[in-house]
Amino acid sequence: MFSSASSLLPLVPLLAVLPTALALDDAGMRSRSVYQLITDRFARPSSATSTCNASDRKYCGGTWSAIADKLDYISGMGYDTVWISPVVENIGGTTGLGEAYHGYWTLDINNLNSNFGTADDLKSLSTKLHDKNMYLMVDVVVNHVAATAGSSFTPDANYAPFDTSADYHSFCWIQDYTNQTQVEVCWLGDDQVALVDINTNSDEIKSTWNNWIKSLVSNYTLDAVRIDTVKHVQMDFWPNFTSSAGVFNQGEVLNGDASYNALYQKDGNVNPFNYPAYYPLTRAFNQTSGDLASLVTMASTIKSSFEDPTLLGNFLNNHDNPRFESTVTDTSLIKNAHAYPFVTDGIPYGYYGSEAGFTGGNDPDNREPLWTANYDTSSDMYKFFASLNAVRKAAGSASSDFYTNQMSVSSLSDSSILVVKGPLVSVLSNSGSSASDASVTVPSSSSNWSANTKVIDAISCESLTTDGSGNLAVTVKSGLPRVFIADSSKGSSVCSNSTSSSSGGNSGATSVIASSPRTLVAGTVGAALMVLAMAF
């Protein structure tokens, strides 16, 4: 079943495991900021000139090498980790749902997707990221392979190592998503593209997957893995798989129930994406009468449900959900919604094209080619994300507990909430860009600021000072978010290209994070030396 002669899993010297000592563990990942991209749609060789229409669902020519050439564009926004599409060989040709440009229609896990490049290209991308003190996260699909037949599917050698019928759960479509047995053993997809459910209950298949992920991480010096369709695989599969990976994982549990998601972190050793927050987040800021109260309530529910909320993956946009901007056009609402994942507990994820103002709706329209935006680093949203990343990094530098301390979220007014994750204090509003200026007060009992403390808004670069009791009078202007940090804690990157002002500042200040040295975050130096000793 498991082929050791495959191109993806060559035998490697024992010393090849050493790079994983530099990979990301939980402690190292908390301080990261992730840029998600679709490999086929982020960048392609300059020689490519063909038109790319997202709605066509066809390969458009994006490659790993082209990603490597655009790393400065990503790091310019302050992102230090890049999540790329699945890398394995997918089914070929055109189906009723287009081509497998996205990488999620697995054929053979032992070969790479040649549309994206060669093994050397993928290794080179990893190396170039690491040379820039950046990290690589690769998407993996464990639950299924893809086929253009449903009940009549018969595996063959092309599906190695899962090339016999016994390697799959018997055919059935998922009909009831509240039935966990159906969710885990029945199939996703339809007769156009069936996602054939792998029998992950088999001990042999478990061993295959565990060996595969260990080799994938080692061979390409991966720093983290994103896991697709986590809830569709039984819980007892995940602990050994994630342990075999040996790096941080972020898993897709597409469900808005906090208690349901929390079980995967507790029992499966999988850190879910924060879908419980995603749904109330979009409802809070999708209109000027949005439901802020439900977001406040969910923030509290998440804290009480998860063993560690600081390891959740926070997002507003991704490849599976319509871009927020597809239904919301108000710039202030958009900025407040995007700010939330950066100023709250967990790891922020930015989806490519958000900085370019992309407005794609449901898949495939939310998978636009980025080169049509010319990688513009002067856009307002590009600078906005740079400012958010800069102030988050400054907060982490100012406080050793920033990434592990849990936030508080409370209501400030009918149209604003207060998010305190010291030393960050944020005022987010859904009043919208047409609203009149509104005054709110950040109490010292929430911020812990003392009297006459000078603070700076990392977005507008306006300087303010607390009163004699440590309270801060804040004016919400045009409904824009306010993200404050004490001036003494802002470091050199927050508002580095602007002159701070107590009367308004510059609203579009560029702030780019300077990368810190890549550290031994999977263990101490002593642990790394132990690995060396064991290797010899």
Does residue 89 have a known ligand-binding role?
A: no
Together in a domain, 128 and 83: yes
Give yes or no for residue 520 having a pLDDT over 80.
no
CATH number at residue 318: 3.20.20.80
What percentage of the chain exceeds 90 in pLDDT? 88
Active-site residue, from 99, 228, 368, 462:
228
**What pLDDT, in 10s, does the model give residues 142-175?**
999 999 999 999 999 999 999 999 999 999 999 9
Together in a domain, 95 and 164: yes
Does residue 30 have a known ligand-binding role?
A: no
In a domain, 10, yes or no: no
Active-site residue, from 139, 252, 330, 457:
252
Together in a domain, 148 and 127: yes
Together in a domain, 391 and 440: no
Tokens for 495?
């508002």
The residue out of 348, 375, 396 marking a domain boundary is: 396
In a domain, 250, yes or no: yes
Q: What is the pLDDT of residue 17?
A: 38
Cis previous bond, 364, omega within 30:
yes
What is each CA distance from 91 to 101, 143, 189, 209, in whole angstroms? 10, 16, 14, 19
Give me the domain span that covers residue 458.
Answer: 406-484
Does residue 163 have a known ligand-binding role?
A: no
The residue out of 396, 417, 450 marking a domain boundary is: 396
**What pLDDT, in 10s, does the model give residues 245-278?**
999 999 999 999 999 999 999 999 999 999 999 9
Kindly state the average pLDDT of the residues 175-186.
Answer: 98
**What pLDDT, in 10s, does the model give residues 453-497?**
999 999 999 999 999 999 999 999 999 999 999 999 999 999 987
Together in a domain, 235 and 144: yes
Give yes or no for residue 111 having a pLDDT over 70.
yes
Does residue 319 have a known ligand-binding role?
A: no
Together in a domain, 38 and 153: yes
Does residue 283 have a known ligand-binding role?
A: no
Does residue 320 have a known ligand-binding role?
A: yes
Residue 112: phi, psi to the nearest 5? -90, 160
Q: What is the pLDDT of residue 228?
A: 98
401 catalytic, yes or no?
Answer: no
**Of 67, 54, 179, which Cα lies nearest the Cα of 116?**
67
For residues 508 and 481, the answer to whether their CB atoms sit within 8 Å is no
Give yes or no for residue 521 having a pLDDT over 70.
no
In a domain, 490, yes or no: no
Does residue 491 have a known ligand-binding role?
A: no
**What pLDDT, in 10s, does the model give residues 186-241?**
999 999 999 999 999 999 999 999 999 999 999 999 999 999 999 999 999 999 99
Residue 439: phi, psi to the nearest 5? -105, 130
Kindly state the average pLDDT of the residues 63-84.
Answer: 98
Does residue 228 have a known ligand-binding role?
A: yes
Together in a domain, 325 and 418: no
Domain count of the fold of the chain: 2
In a domain, 505, yes or no: no
Does residue 105 have a known ligand-binding role?
A: yes
Cα distance between residue 224 and residue 227, in whole Å:
10
**Of 242, 132, 167, 100, which Cα lies nearest the Cα of 518?**
132
Together in a domain, 96 and 204: yes
CATH number at residue 429: 2.60.40.1180
Amino acid (one-letter) located at 144: H
Does residue 467 have a known ligand-binding role?
A: no
The residue out of 484, 512, 528 marking a domain boundary is: 484
56 catalytic, yes or no?
Answer: no
Residue 66: which region, alpha, beta or left (left: phi > 0; alpha: psi -120 to 50)? alpha
Axis-axis angle for helices 380-398, 331-343 (nearest 10)? 30
Together in a domain, 347 and 422: no
Together in a domain, 378 and 470: no
Q: What is the pLDDT of residue 526?
A: 37
Reduced to 3 DSSP states, what percent helix, strand and coil does the chain have, rounded to the nearest 5?
35, 20, 45
Kindly state the average pLDDT of the residues 389-397.
Answer: 98
Together in a domain, 119 and 85: yes
Q: DSSP secondary structure string, 382-445?
A: HHHHHHHHHHHHHHHHH-TTTTTSPPEEEEEETTEEEEEETTEEEEEE-S-TTSPPEEEEE-HH
Query: Higher confidence at residue 48 or residue 6?
Result: 48
Does residue 139 have a known ligand-binding role?
A: no
Give the 3-state secondary structure of residue 223.
coil
Mean pLDDT of the chain: 91
Q: What is the pLDDT of residue 168?
A: 98
**What pLDDT, in 10s, does the model give residues 281-333?**
999 999 999 999 999 999 999 999 999 999 999 999 999 999 999 999 999 99
Question: Would you place residue 343 in the very low, low, confident or very high pLDDT band (cuts 50, 70, 90)?
Answer: very high
In a domain, 515, yes or no: no
Give yes or no for residue 87 having a pLDDT over 80.
yes
Looking at the whole model, is its pTM more than 0.95? no
In a domain, 504, yes or no: no
Give yes or no for residue 27 having a pLDDT over 50.
yes
Name the one residue in this structure whose structure tokens are 């093994």: 119
